[in-house]
Structure 1
Amino acid sequence: MTSARELYERTVAELAPAAAGNRLVELVEAGVAPREALRRIAGEEHRIIRSDRRSFALLAARFADRGRAAPFFLGLAAGEGEALGLLTPFATAVGLSPADLATYRSRPAAQTYPHYLAWLAQSGTLAETVLALLANFGFWGGYCARLAAALPRHYGLSAEATAFFAFFAALPPDFESEALALLQSALDDGESAAEARHAARLMQSYESSFWAAVLPADAPRT
């Protein structure tokens, strides 16, 4: 019988080497990332968060009969709503008004992550969805923690302006234990561990696409 914990740890170990490098985060930590990159993060996240909130709500409805899946996904949807409120001070601090956010035009490669999550919400299995989120959230949270520390130091942003990143720097309470319980249940029901690992690899690849897409072409090399 496949263990959810072993599958999760194996998947994270496979993804970690590629996920370790994040050029934009490294540029921010060096204090040389263009402010345009920060504006792009705000603009892209404004669209991503609203899309992900809907995807989580749909997942709650789709898997309402699968143990505690509905409250799990509804909790994630609520978190996206909280994050959306925290994004505004960051956007303002880097020069984007609410009107700018409303008219921001996204870069296709920056939106592959929410598009894939929307696909999972429509067509993915519970195992695919949960493992993809479980593996990715740790990497995303790590990037956010580094940005929350570096932005005040190098760009003079206040705690209010960086609260968006601080919010995502830590996993939601009980997220890992609840996700592993759902993943184990899905595996016990016969859902494919191999397909779940593939979904996690895709999700992390789309995460990387986001960070590459928000970097201006003239950004300095690290």
Structure 2
Amino acid sequence: MSARYGIGVGTGFLSGLLTRDLSPLRRGLLEHPFWRGLETGETTRAQLAQFALQDAWLIREVHRLDGLAIAKAPNLEAADALIAKLAFKREAWGALVRFGRALGLSERAFDDPVPLPACAGLTAHFYYHLVRSSFAEAVAAIGASETIFLELCARVERPLLEVYGFTADEVAFFSVHEALEPAERALSGLLAPLVQTDAERERVTRAVELSHGFERLFYDGLLELPPPR
């Protein structure tokens, strides 16, 4: 029997299902220079604007991704947890647009955002698992990204207020993500009965590992590209 790890996908998510320790990848995301720079004020407003547009792309695609995941759900409980996530995304969209406006972006900029290569790659990774893999792998791939972001959101709201001088309403995009935690916990518990063999655990672990890798490339790209026009 392979060793199993409950770390690497956010607190409690997929506890006991992973076949190896992915905590170094997880730490690399939580300590990424983009987010550490945000806490110290080194991340520029232009880079934050680029982040807002890339997250706009992801949220627009997540509506489709969650729809596909709901269709793939093996039972009503899993479908209900995914529907709860989908309802939350509508609130997150309005909050993201307000954050973008505070950064000088127009609402029209959010109508048709263009993904950076790594953002498109992360999205394609999610679609691949929804089309080609099991429900557990697909949810693990998406959840790996979402639960890391939940931890980051809890950390960065204060520096956005105190270091950058935004108002609470302007950075509500980060605080509203607390509402996503119950659905993530519910999905974590529902996946355990679906992942029984070492081979299934390894496939889930690989899906999480790849998500962390694409996420790292995504944040790298935010620091490398010029500001959006």
Partner of 1:164: 173
Distance 1:167 1:191, change over 3 A: farther
Q: Is the 8 A contact 2:15 2:188 kept in 1?
A: yes
Distance apart, 1:72 and its partner CA = 1.6
Is the aligned partner of 1:139 residue 2:148?
yes
Whole-angstrom distance in 2 between the partners of 1:210 and 1:5: 25
Return the match for 1:173 from 174, 182, 190: 182
Q: Is the 8 A contact 2:19 2:202 kept in 1?
A: no
Task: Note the 1:143-158 alignment, pairs <5 A.
Answer: 143-158=152-167
Q: Which runs of 5+ in 2 are unaligned?
A: 5-13
Q: SS of 2:168's equivalent?
A: coil
Whole-angstrom distance in 1 between the partners of 2:120 and 2:112: 16
Q: Which runs of 5+ in 1 are unaligned?
A: none
Q: Is the 8 A contact 2:141 2:207 kept in 1?
A: yes
Distance 1:5 1:28, change over 3 A: closer
Task: Note the 1:53-202 alignment, pairs <5 A.
Answer: 53-63=63-73, 65-168=74-177, 171-176=180-185, 178-188=186-196, 192-202=200-210
Whole-angstrom distance in 2 between the partners of 1:9 and 1:147: 31
Percent sequence identity over aligned pairs: 24
What amino acid does structure 2 have at the position aligned with 1:212?
D
Task: Note the 1:15-30 alignment, pairs <5 A.
Answer: 15-30=25-40
Whole-angstrom distance in 2 between the partners of 1:144 and 1:31: 16
Whole-angstrom distance in 2 between the partners of 1:159 and 1:205: 32
Q: Is the 8 A contact 1:141 1:170 kept in 2?
A: no
Q: Is the 8 A contact 1:112 1:206 kept in 2?
A: yes
Is the aligned partner of 1:208 residue 2:213?
no
Count of equivalent residues: 217
Q: SS of 2:182's equivalent?
A: coil
1:60-102 deviation line (CA, Å, top 9, x unaligned): 0122x43512112212222222211111110000011111222
Structure 1 stretches (4+) deviating beyond 4 angstroms? 1-4, 8-12
Partner of 2:9: none
Whole-angstrom distance in 1 between the partners of 2:120 and 2:190: 27
Distance apart, 1:171 and its partner CA = 4.3
Q: Is the 8 A contact 1:143 1:169 kept in 2?
A: no
Query: Cα RMSD between the aligned structures?
Result: 2.6
Distance 1:12 1:95, change over 3 A: same
TM-score of the superposition, structure 2-length normalised?
0.83
Whole-angstrom distance in 1 between the partners of 2:45 and 2:83: 34
What amino acid does structure 1 have at the position aligned with 2:221?
A
Is the aligned partner of 1:6 residue 2:16?
yes
Whole-angstrom distance in 2 between the partners of 1:14 and 1:100: 36
1:94-133 deviation line (CA, Å, top 9, x unaligned): 0111112225433111232222222222222122123334
TM-score of the superposition, structure 1-length normalised?
0.85
What amino acid does structure 2 have at the position aligned with 1:53?
H
Partner of 2:50: 40
